[in-house]
Amino acid sequence: MALMTGEEYVESMRKMNLNVYMFGEKIDDPVDNPVLRPSLNSVKATYDLAQMPEYEDLMTVTLEDGRKINRFANIHRNTDDLIKKVKMQRLCGQKTASCFQRCVGMDAFNAVWSTTYEIDKKYSTNYHENFKSYLRMVQDRDFTVDGAMTDPKGDRSLAPHAQPDLDLYLRVVEQREDGIVVRGAKAHQTGIINSQEVIVMPTVAMGPEDKDFAVSFAVPTDAEGITMIIGRQSCDTRKLEGSSMDVGNSEFGGVEALVVFDDVFVPNDRIFLNGEYEFAGMLVERFAGYHRQSYGGCKVGVGDVLIGAAALAADYNGVPKASHIKDKLIEMVHLNETLYCCGIACSAEGKPTESGNYLIDLLLANVCKQNVTRYPYEIARLAEDIAGGFMVTAPSEKDLRSPVVGPMVEKYLKGTAGVSTENRLKILRLIENLTLGTAAVGYRTESMHGAGSPQAQRIMISRQGSIGKKKELAKEIAKIRD
């Protein structure tokens, strides 16, 4: 099959029989639901962009066997692939100003690829061949795949096997000749309602007592026993009011779900890890590294839009030449480009794994994500500062259109000459959406907790920071002999 168009992708999702709940009710048509459709549009954009000649080099890859695939389904073969991944993610962020949801599947592909190779090498299992066949199917059908790693975790002071309720970490509850049966849940699943498939991975390193929890596999998202419960977002019900202005970004968005696996059957040929607990940590570390690299692209692209919106707000407020406004915009660009530098650096320093695919420099990837837990917050703060108080106190679009109060809104919320009140309100609503509204989940809050919260990166930086080697460097310069 050739690359899907955006419309073909949408039609493929109509054929899925997803079990989705939102606001306590089952959603029979997730594709056209007004709250959910913007998140589907963000994924659709990754298909639309792949059809455009000007973005072909970033959005697609031609494999050695001649197949042309979407880069989101690629196995990184060199540092050029890793760098283009980050550039592609920045592009997608610029075009959607939201989470476009395919990064987690791409990062899972590359982590599972190398980890299964090493499991097979030790145990003579067939996981790598299972995954190669699965990936070939995904590439040929141009599927979107959700990567599911984060368990609810319950009491975080306890290991998976020690939880009072064992279902708080996803686990194997039955081993059968033809496959396994799994039970549990995965939290914070961005984009799963817009994916045809889901890859499940363990969420922590594990010991022998956690063998049942050391499992990785793939199933269709509409497999029997899977239930998706949509998470709330700030201002989410504005999408039901019919005002594109009040939403801020009416076309694109993202949603998350708590995904419950209630005795879901997984056939043998879709199992990539099943009890080899000592490889759980490797899979987690590699996936986390790839996903932390991703944030040096996607969040930078959204940051580009936010910086542009803040600059427009300054124009519309009549203060683009104020020195403090110029300085704040410079600082926003500086912070945003610093994040991009980290994403490019960890990519350029990538090295091949035993399986042949390329892994980013893990230390630099963790530094990248550590910066992402901070800089978008400052970029958002500066945008809110430049925008001014009307960003959060402006009346609604209905008030603007009202024959009674509309003229008052038009008169008193007017900015600089030559700019309509409507356009001024539109840009303020976009900034609100990116910093406080539904998009803030995929920009500000996700910058903190996506791909692991700050302490997770600090642990990895501590492990990989080579303090011992740095001590030896200092001793050599200082002429210290022990």
Distance of CA 224 to the CA centre of its chain: 26
Q: Going from the N-terminus, what domains does the chain have, and what CATH number goes with each? A: 6-281 (2.40.110.10), 282-465 (1.20.140.10)
10 Å CB burial of residue 132 (0-12, 13-18, 19+) is middle
Which position among 96, 128, 134, 298 bears the catalytic label? 298
Paired with 229 in beta bridges are 21, 258
Asked whether 168 and 151 are in contact (CB, 8 A), the reply is yes
Q: What is the pTM of this model?
A: 0.97
Is residue 256 flagged as an active site residue? yes
Instruction: Say if residues 234 and 305 touch (Cβ distance below 8 Å).
Output: no
| From 99, 342, 346, 368, active-site residue | 99
295 belongs to the catalytic site: yes
* Cα 481 from Cα 271, distance rounded (Å): 54
CA angle centred on 139, ends 12 and 221, rounded to 5°: 45
Q: How far apart are CA 121 and CA 51, in angstroms?
A: 39
- 128 flagged as catalytic: no
Q: What is the CB neighbour count within 10 angstroms for residue 234?
A: 14
Do the strands 68-70 and 197-200 form a parallel or antiparallel pair, or are they unpaired?
Answer: unpaired
Query: Is 99 a catalytic site residue?
Result: yes
User: Whole-angstrom Cα distance, residue 449 to residue 176?
Assistant: 36
Q: Which residue, among 300, 283, 315, has the nearest Cα to 368 in the 3D structure?
A: 300
> What's the pLDDT tens digit per position in 394-432?
999 999 999 999 999 999 999 999 999 999 999 999 999
How do 171-176 and 179-186 pair as beta strands?
Answer: antiparallel
| Active-site option among 118, 197, 397, 446 | 446
Please choose, from the candidates 99, 88, 98, 96, the residue with its C-alpha nearest in 3D space to the C-alpha of residue 54: 88
Question: Is 144 known as a binding-site position?
Answer: no
Q: What is the pLDDT of residue 346?
A: 98
- Catalytic annotation, pick one of 127, 291, 353, 358: 291
Exposure string over 266-288, b if 16+ CB within 10 A, otherwise e: beeebbbbbbbbebbbbbbbbbb
Structure tokens at 107: 């990062």
Q: 10 Å Cβ neighbour count for 48?
A: 17
Q: Can 298 be counted among the known catalytic residues?
A: yes
- Supply the pLDDT for residue 217: 99
Following CA atoms 108, 109, 115, 118 in sequence, which dihedral angle do they give, to the nearest 10 degrees? 180
The pLDDT profile of the chain, 482 residues, written as one tens digit per residue, is: 689 999 999 999 999 999 999 999 999 999 999 999 999 999 999 999 999 999 999 999 999 999 999 999 999 999 999 999 999 999 999 999 999 999 999 999 999 999 999 999 999 999 999 999 999 999 999 999 999 999 999 999 999 999 999 999 999 999 999 999 999 999 999 999 999 999 999 999 999 999 999 999 999 999 999 999 999 999 999 999 999 999 999 999 999 999 999 999 999 999 999 999 999 999 999 999 999 999 999 999 999 999 999 999 999 999 999 999 999 999 999 999 999 999 999 999 999 999 999 999 999 999 999 999 999 999 999 999 999 999 999 999 999 999 999 999 999 999 999 999 999 999 999 999 999 998 888 898 899 999 999 999 999 999 999 999 999 999 999 999 98
Residue in 118, 197, 256, 276 annotated catalytic:
256
pLDDT tens profile 301-315: 999 999 999 999 999
Q: Residue 148's closest CA among 41, 232, 260?
A: 260
- Kindly report the CA angle at 222 between 216 and 228, in degrees rounded to 5? 85
Q: How many of the other CB atoms lie within 10 Å of CB of 251?
A: 15
Beta-bridge partners for 260: 185, 227
Q: What is the pLDDT of residue 1?
A: 66
